[in-house]
Amino acid sequence: MTTVPFSLQTDLDGAPPSITLTYTHKFPGDEKATELYMKYSFDGTNYKNEVSGKDSNGTALNEADSMKFMLSAMREQGKMSTGYGSLRDRSTLLDTYTGGLNMITGLSSDSLKGLSDTDAIDKIKGASNGAAMNPQENSLMNSPVALLSKAILTSHQYIDALKTNTNVSTAKTRFHKDMSEFINQNDDSEARVSDTYRVLGIKYAALEQTQKTLDITMDTLQAEYSSKLAIDPYDAVVKMYSYQYSYNAAMKVGANIMQSFFCLIL
């Protein structure tokens, strides 16, 4: 069964207006999934990126613990040998796990494994509270969802300003600035997601080819086994039990004959 790991909820009437992305992930050993919430909001001055969550037992998580769960999910890997690389060096093997938060942020599990927990979490969260943002930075704040949320929130603020005729000039200036940044950053974000899809296609093709190779190898080995040994293992087992039964019956008959023979002599 396939489940969708993301859901989006808007609360434009809230104080402040916000858009929340929910990421659902089931960790190994857990019966239920952990939910991680990324809330994008605008308080009138700064855009914020707040993270919270709920573990598999339903216990609420603060931001620090939520980020640890998020990092753990993004560091998960599914390394597999496809005939290339070395089993002794996992970095040379194909990582079949590419998706979820890794895809929308552009951060690979290998890149996060190479950082300390603190640096990795800072990298995932990205700039917040109005701090400067590098358009090409891989982070939640530069993810497609965050950029789209920012565009919606700044549009909502501008519309409200026009409705109430309050701070229209300031809202308009911010709207033009934010939308310009959205367009520029969205191109980079789209490129990162497109690259991820391209990588997924390559990995899928490699896995398909590996499966075909393994199927051919299995057929070849079965053919060689049959031709060299000329033995059907199931038929051999049946014959073994049949021969054993015949042998035991013959031994019993022989014992009865010998017993009768000795009785006649005596």
pLDDT, tens digit (0-9, with 9 covering 90-100), for 192-221: 777 777 777 777 787 787 788 778 888 787
- pLDDT band at residue 135, thresholds of 50, 70 and 90? low
Q: How many CA atoms lie within 13 A of 140 on its CB side?
A: 29
In a 10 Å sphere around its CB, with 0-12 CB exposed, 13-18 middle and 19+ buried, how is residue 33 labelled?
Answer: middle
Cβ atoms of 59 and 34 within 8 Å: the answer is no
Q: What is the pTM of this model?
A: 0.67
CA distances from 22 to 39, 107, 196, 233 (A): 9, 18, 21, 54
Query: 79 or 266, which is more confident?
Result: 79
> Would you state the pLDDT for residue 250?
65
Query: 88 or 70, which is more confident?
Result: 70
Per-residue pLDDT reduced to its tens digit, 11-67: 988 888 999 999 999 998 899 999 999 999 887 777 888 899 999 999 999 999 999
